[in-house]
Structure 1
């Protein structure tokens, strides 16, 4: 059973009305041309555009990257950066009874601990939790590796009648979005009001109204 928001209420229409002017009609004609000639992206009508990108969320089970947190702040953004940070800032300061000790990226999202013992090169496969135990045992209780996954997101409060405007918006406001943000076409599925409005915008002969302005 559908649950409706309780804010569907009405009040008196106090918006001041006016007649169409030449500037309005010029805008409608240009909008109509853009809507009728832009690529449909094989999306059903009524189509509109939004901004789509990705968000980073902590996810130790299905991680895309392993990042390092220190004192609750994230100090790396990729697994490669995490490996470099561990080697440059932590391993060199640890009391390790092994020569040439370094950590590297293993298969998938595991790590490899590499060192020399009795003149022989040794390798140990470590999962992230084992690295965290290693850090805690060496006095780095405030440093730990966490998993990060990237999830697709359609940004709220974005809605454009044309892809051209969506692209221009993204170019002007790219700093508000993820690096992989892009325009994305959607359909106002089973929305009769939007369908009818789109039909008016695309089919009315706006130039004929100019003679009455």
Structure 2
């Protein structure tokens, strides 16, 4: 490895060690690492529901957050002789109107009770909390606004634990000093040989 690359790697390891040793631990024992936690809604029984979602699902799923969303969808996708008097109607009323007017024979208009569940985002693993935060900052468009860092402990992963232990406990400056010692020794030997030839 070139001397310049070696210095760069040692500096990286030294900086990383400082970061790992001074960062928040989020109540997790070492060896710790970070992942990302986000939230999603899953269908459930109405007794356990956090929310009710009003949707049209025919392969693509469209969710209606307010009555006007549904009215605009009906205007665009259904052949209607007239629209309901929706100013005084909520989504439940509109879905009932859809049933009465036989617009849901295929069952695509659905009222779905859902519960919110937390989950670990796939393909995420970070050694430092700051790196996890940076990921969220740069990739928030892929997730909900509630995504956050989540610390975990590698209890049953001895190799992973050993790597994290090495990163946090190894004296990387020792390797830099060793390199400097060898470099100085080579220079002294070279000067000694030069002086020997001159004499």
Deviation at 1:104, TM superposition (A): 4.2
- The answer for the alignment partner of 2:117 in structure 1 is 151
2:194 paired with 1:207: no
Change in 2 beyond 3 A, CA 1:184/1:84: same
Out of 103, 106, 124, the position equivalent to 1:140 is: 103
Count of aligned pairs between the two proteins = 166
**Higher relative CO (CA 8 A, sep ≥ 6), structure 1 or 2?**
2
- The answer for the alignment partner of 2:54 in structure 1 is 68
**3-state SS, counterpart of residue 89 of structure 2:** strand
Change in 2 beyond 3 A, CA 1:136/1:181: same
Change in 2 beyond 3 A, CA 1:71/1:186: closer
Q: Is the 8 A contact 2:64 2:70 kept in 1?
A: no
Deviation at 1:65, TM superposition (A): 2.4
Deviation at 1:170, TM superposition (A): 1.1
Name the one with the larger helix percent: 2
Change in 2 beyond 3 A, CA 1:26/1:89: closer
CA offsets, 1:64-87, max 9 Å, x none?
Answer: 222222353444354xx2x45467
Mark the runs of 5 or more structure 2 residues left unpaired by the alignment: 75-81, 180-199
Mark the runs of 5 or more structure 1 residues left unpaired by the alignment: 1-16, 106-110, 114-130
TM-score by length of 1: 0.65
Larger gyration radius, structure 1 or structure 2:
2
How far apart, CA to CA, are the structure 2 residues paired with 1:75 and 1:57?
A: 15
2:182 paired with 1:192: no
TM-score by length of 2: 0.69
Deviation at 1:56, TM superposition (A): 2.5
Let me know the Cα RMSD of the aligned residues: 3.1
- The answer for the alignment partner of 2:41 in structure 1 is 56
CA offsets, 1:87-134, max 9 Å, x none?
Answer: 7877x824xxxx9983348xxxxx5x6xxxxxxxxxxxxxxxxx7555
Out of 21, 25, 40, the position equivalent to 1:40 is: 25
- The answer for the alignment partner of 1:165 in structure 2 is 131
